[in-house]
Amino acid sequence: MKKDKKRLIREYAEAIITALLLALVIRAYIIQAFKIPSGSMVPTLLIGDHILVNKFIYGTKIPFSDRRILVFKKPERGDIIVFKYPEDPGRDFIKRVIAIEDDKVESKNKIVYVNGKAAMETYAQHTDSYIRPKGNDRRDNFEPLTVPKNKVFVMGDNRDQSYDSRYWGYVDINDIRGRALIIYWSWDGKRWIRFNRIGRLVH
């Protein structure tokens, strides 16, 4: 009887440890949950949306190294990514890739141009009709920039309410955690679950 009890305890312990290890591996290399904390990606993502992030699509990062292996693809224009905030790597940000390495990007009166052509941005939202002139405030106008190698230029979809590459520069590809995949939960922060958003693919 005691042997059966010990065996049962051991089996439970092994199952729990295995489950924990699998959860850690999945979180580190495959899928990670992320909560939208601000309105910078409205209307695509709302405050209170909970999303899953695909962590392996841009390659698996080797522990204690900046190298990546099994790279399926590089970030592309239009991808919504989660990354380490360059000014505070302990925080994660989420924005949309607007330009990739070697692209020339600029903004004229709120219109973004990539390689000389106006970007087709059906997802972008402007809440302020006032256009700020060229100068220190780069919200609506900034000069042509060429994106360096292994960097991306990102912006929030809520253009007038986003702190992004216009202000603090580029995102290093090695600092990207993954690409937003799907909304698995959403609520308004008070009492209403937004059932119509659950299960939506993020794009």
pLDDT of the residue at 57: 85
pLDDT tens-digit readout, 151-180:
999 999 999 999 999 999 999 999 999 999
> Which residue type occupies 116?
G
Residue 191 DSSP code: S
Number of other residues whose CB lies within 10 A of the CB of residue 165:
25
Percent of the chain at pLDDT > 70 equals 81
- Specify the pLDDT at position 176: 94
Which residue in the list 55, 61, 95, 151 is annotated as catalytic? 95
Answer with the residue of higher pLDDT: 29 or 8: 8
**For residue 87, what pLDDT band results from cuts at 50, 70 and 90?**
very high
Q: Which amino acid is at 134?
A: K
pLDDT of 59 strictly over 90: no
Q: Residue 190 pLDDT more than 90?
A: no
Rounded Cα distance, 190 and 87, in Å:
31
Residue 188 pLDDT > 70, yes or no?
Answer: yes
Name all domains of the chain by residue range, CATH numbers in brackets.
2-197 (2.10.109.10)
Catalytic annotation on 40? yes
| Mean pLDDT of all residues belonging to the chain | 88
Tell how strand 176-186 and strand 111-114 pair up: unpaired
pLDDT in tens, 114-136: 999 999 999 999 999 999 988 77
- Spot the catalytic one: 6, 35, 38, 40: 40
What number of other Cβ atoms are within 10 A of residue 197's Cβ?
17
pLDDT on residue 42: 97
DSSP 1: -
Give the Cα separation of 181 and 31 in Å (integer).
9
Residue 139, pLDDT above cutoff 70? yes
